[in-house]
């Protein structure tokens, strides 16, 4: 198994592969979710060596946190890294709120839902339009000093907002979109984070399934399917992605693993990435993702994949 990674400059350490828990009772995000299945997904992750669970208030409006809290009681809490997030203000139609008062209240409410007395990583989920970002983070720093949280994160912030949030050096970790087909973060964000010893966690690492090898280039999506509206699933862009994924299938066969595990192993080897958090809607998906920890890419394969996905 791979060595644990340090989150920023904090005392929090995680496996390099975590579980994205947006499908653990994220009923507002996905149809036909089952709470018992959600809890079994969490159990499967924890019993198979994953230590980091990444959730948020917005995943089921607190329900994902509640289910994780129920499962936590079955395990040694000290060996689990809980990351959660807040920004959606239920008192204001779910609009984003980063005020110190809101964030302080959100941490206290998350602690109750998770049935724990500390949160390992707490993120501001989205930036609001008015709160100075360093003031928002300073509020979390007070909670960190009080022992309620152990690491401070921001998510979906622009680089300018991250720099503002980090004026006092309090930001420990950033979560943002990044994958082999969405690599904008490499230009400016990743170098800034590395220079400032801030950890990076990419979300959507498998690009809504595009990087798992499950699609063929001739597949079509009906108009009511959300994928039909996404540029990655349309026209020449979609065909180009699938063409490159087909080449990943050959590499995956050489490593006796799946395309998804190969891609996750690429992120794990990437020096600019600390933890990767693929989601799962079924326990067997968790078990398949965990196989990435046993895939040790050669430098040659790593660079082949890197070059392959320099898409136009």
| Cα–Cα distance for residue pair 55/83, rounded to 1 Å | 6
| Cα–Cα distance for residue pair 63/12, rounded to 1 Å | 25
What mean pLDDT comes out for the span 154-174? 98
pLDDT of residue 312: 59
Mean pLDDT, the chain, rounded, equals 96
pLDDT of residue 1: 53
183 CB burial (10 A radius; 0-12, 13-18, 19+):
middle
List the catalytic residues.
59
92 CB burial (10 A radius; 0-12, 13-18, 19+):
exposed
pLDDT of residue 119: 98
pLDDT of residue 3: 87
What mean pLDDT comes out for the span 142-165? 98
Angle at 151 between CA 147 and CA 153, to 5 degrees: 135
Q: How many CB atoms lie within 10 A of CB 251?
A: 18
CATH number of the domain at 5-206+270-295, please? 3.20.20.100
**5-32 tens-digit pLDDT:** 999 999 999 999 999 999 999 999 888 8
| pLDDT value at 229 more than 90 | no
Share above pLDDT 90 across residues of the chain, in percent, rounded to a whole number: 91
Instruction: Give domain limits for the chain.
Output: 5-206+270-295
pLDDT of residue 101: 98
| pLDDT value at 34 more than 60 | yes
Element (H or E) spanning 180, and its range? none
User: Is the distance from CB of 311 to CB of 240 less than 8 angstroms?
Assistant: yes
Q: Is the pTM of this model over 0.85?
A: yes
| Cα–Cα distance for residue pair 222/192, rounded to 1 Å | 41
Spell out where 99-170 has E strands.
119-124, 149-155
Supply φ then ψ for residue 211, to 5 degrees.
-100, 25
| Residue matched to tokens 């009923």 | 27
């Amino acid at each position: 198994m791979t060595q644990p990674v340090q989150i920023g400059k904090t005392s929090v350490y995680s496996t390099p592969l975590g579980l994205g828990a947006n499908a653990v009772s994220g009923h507002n995000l996905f149809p036909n979710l089952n709470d018992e299945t959600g809890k079994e997904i969490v159990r499967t992750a924890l019993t198979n060596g994953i230590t980091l669970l990444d959730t948020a208030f917005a995943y089921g409006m607190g329900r994902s946190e509640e289910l994780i809290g129920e499962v936590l009681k079955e395990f040694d809490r000290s060996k689990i890294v809980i990351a959660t997030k807040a920004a959606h203000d239920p008192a204001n139609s779910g609009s984003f709120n980063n005020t110190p008062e809101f964030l302080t209240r959100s941490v206290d409410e998350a602690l109750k839902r998770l049935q724990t007395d500390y949160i390992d990583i707490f993120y501001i989920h989205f930036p609001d339009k008015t709160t100075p970002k360093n003031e928002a983070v300073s509020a979390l720093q007070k909670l960190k000093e009080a022992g309620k949280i152990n690491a401070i994160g921001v998510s979906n912030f622009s680089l300018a907002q991250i720099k503002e949030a980090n004026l006092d050096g309090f930001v420990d970790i950033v979560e943002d979109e990044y994958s082999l087909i969405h690599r904008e973060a490499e230009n400016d964000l990743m170098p800034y984070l590395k220079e400032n010893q801030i950890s990076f966690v990419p979300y959507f690492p498998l690009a809504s399934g595009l990087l798992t090898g499950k699609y063929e280039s001739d597949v079509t999506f009906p108009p009511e399917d959300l994928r039909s509206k996404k540029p990655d699933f349309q026209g020449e862009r979609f065909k180009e992605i699938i063409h490159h994924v087909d080449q990943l299938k050959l590499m995956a066969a050489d490593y006796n693993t799946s395309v998804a595990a190969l891609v996750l192993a690429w992120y794990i080897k990437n020096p600019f990435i600390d933890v990767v958090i693929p989601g799962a809607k079924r326990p067997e998906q968790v078990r398949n993702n965990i196989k990435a920890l046993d895939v040790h890419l050669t430098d040659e394969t790593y660079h082949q994949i890197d070059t392959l996905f320099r898409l136009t």
